[in-house]
Amino acid sequence: MSRLTIRQPDDWHLHLRDGSMLRSVLPSTSETFARAIVMPNLVPPVVTAKDAAAYKDRILAAIPEEHGFTPLMTLYLTEDTDADDLAHAYTSGLVTAVKLYPAGATTNSNSGVRNIENVIPVLERMAEIGMPLLVHGEVTTHEVDIFDREAVFIDTILDPLRRRIPSLRVVMEHITTKQGVDYAKSGDDNLAATITTHHLILNRNHLLVGGIRPDYYCLPIVKSEDHRLALREAATSGSPKFFLGTDSAPHTEANKICACGCAGIFTAINTMSCLAHVFAEEGALDKLEAFTSLNGPAFYGMAPNENTIDLVKSDDPIKFPRQIWSEDGPVTVFDPGFELFWKVEK
């Protein structure tokens, strides 16, 4: 197969940042994707309906005129979140979901939740109104090894929480382990999971063997090969439980390549080419549309996009820029480690 037509994709987990970085990275997404769930981990974070409305306006102002794009806003859950403000943000259509970051789990997550007990009333309210909770599923306990943090989170936080509030709709964001795949599969219709492009491609050898690769450093950290294979199986299975959340997370080169480099990989610009490559390798191109364009909207109760895109396989490798420019400095584009041949045509 050398041409594949699919419904226009959506990105169910994206970091757009703010200011000049927002203006630099947004077109890479809005060129190809119709909608994206926009992460609220700005500094300071997007906590209230008012914050979300203002951020949405800044995003809308940065969309190139020729692109149609809808940002789906999220609120950052804190132990002080006001349940009425959050419920109103959802029922009025301003906000699509709420993001749970365990405090300290990832970039700009210091205002996150320290003790889940303190947010139970808000989560119960969300369950009542059907508002999805998007979870960064890693414990931050110092004793727990960074490679085990997802599995421990599932056992000690997520599973007890779902038993306590079974009607809460939950998305396990950017799962990276077999345990994450198995847990998502074991849940009812209230549970789903996003998978990133880079976790389908990288294992921890790519990060660490032959010299450290700061451009492959992200959270949750890339795992061993058996976990990567489990993710590939899940993503290409067609199961409605799994859909794309790129977690494209731009940082300037200076902030990534230094003594304490930031976590995050900028994949927005070549994600669809990478995914077509992965799905073709797995003999599952017929499942790509479900992963990028159908399963996400179905979980969120939205219609899939009407427009289509074509993925066209060329004979010669496609050249993506190695970096994109921002006023704050260059941002390195994800290098999948192989040449890309699938090009998006709209």
CA 318 to chain centre: 24
- C-beta closer to Zn ion: residue 175 or 324: 175
CA gap 292, 285 in Å, rounded? 11
CB of 58 to ligand OTD, least distance (A): 17
Write down the number of H helices and E strands in the chain: 14, 13
The contact mask relative to Zn ion for 89-108 (x = CB under 5 A, - = no) is -----------------x--
Nearer to Zn ion, 32 or 106 (CB): 106
Comparing CB distances to ligand OTD, the nearer of 18 and 233 is 18
User: The tokens 């491609």 sit on which residue?
Assistant: 201
Q: Check binding of 219 to ligand OTD (CB under 6 A).
A: yes
Indicate which residue of 10, 145, 247, 310 is catalytic: 247
Q: Does 247 bind ligand OTD (CB under 6 A)?
A: yes
Query: Residue 83 in 3-state DSSP?
Result: helix
**Nearest CA-CA partner of 76 in 122, 35, 30:** 122
Binding partner at 107 among Zn ion, ligand OTD, none, C-beta below 5 to 8 Å by kind: ligand OTD
Minimum Å gap between C-beta 100 and Zn ion is: 10
Number of residues interacting with Zn ion: please give it, by CB under 5 A: 3
Binding mask 93-122 for ligand OTD (x = CB under 6 A): -------------xx---------------
Is residue 307 within 8 Å of residue 232, measured between CB atoms?
A: no
**DSSP output for 224-276:** -HHHHHHHHHHHTT--TTEEE---B----HHHHSSTTPPP-BB-TTTHHHHHH
3-class secondary structure, 135: strand
Which one of residues 10, 150, 215, 247 is an interface residue with Zn ion (CB under 5 A)?
247
Select 215 or 247, whichever has its Cβ closest to Zn ion: 247
Q: What does the alpha-carbon distance between residue 299 and residue 49 come to, in Å, rounded to a whole number?
A: 23
**Is 247 among the residues known to form the active site?**
yes
Nearer Cβ to Zn ion (48/109): 109
The item of Zn ion, ligand OTD, none sharing an interface with residue 162, based on CB under 5 to 8 Å by kind, is none
Question: How far is the C-alpha of 303 from the C-alpha of 339, rounded, in Å?
Answer: 34
Selected binder of ligand OTD within 23, 136, 149, 162 (CB under 6 A):
136
Least distance between ligand OTD and beta carbon 221 (Å): 8
| Nearest approach, Cβ of residue 74 and ligand OTD (Å) | 11
Q: Which C-beta is closer to ligand OTD: that of 181 or that of 218? A: 218
| Residue 138 Cβ vs ligand OTD, minimum distance, rounded to whole Å | 8
The candidate with the shortest Cα–Cα distance to 134, out of 305, 296, 334, is: 296
CB of 31 to ligand OTD, least distance (A): 21
57's CB contacts (< 8 A; 6+ apart) are none
**How many positions of this chain bind ligand OTD (CB under 6 A)?**
11
Phi-psi map region of 19: left, alpha, beta (phi>0 left; psi -120 to 50 alpha): left
Distances (CA, A) of 325 to 20, 250, 251, 321, 331: 10, 11, 11, 10, 6
Residues with Cβ within 8 Å of 63's Cβ and at least 6 positions away in sequence, in order, are 26, 27, 30, 69
Residue of 23, 35, 56, 136 that binds Zn ion (CB under 5 A): 136
Min dist. Cβ of residue 39 to ligand OTD (A): 6
Q: Which of residues 282-321 bind ligand OTD (CB under 6 A)?
A: none
Name which position in 27, 45, 102, 264 contacts ligand OTD (CB under 6 A): 264
Residues 6+ apart with CB under 8 A from 25: 16, 17, 248, 250, 266, 268, 324, 326, 331
Q: Which stretches of the chain bind Zn ion, using CB under 5 A?
A: 106, 136, 247
Q: Which residues are catalytic?
A: 247
Q: Which stretches of the chain bind ligand OTD, using CB under 6 A?
A: 15, 41, 106-107, 136, 218-219, 247, 249, 263-264
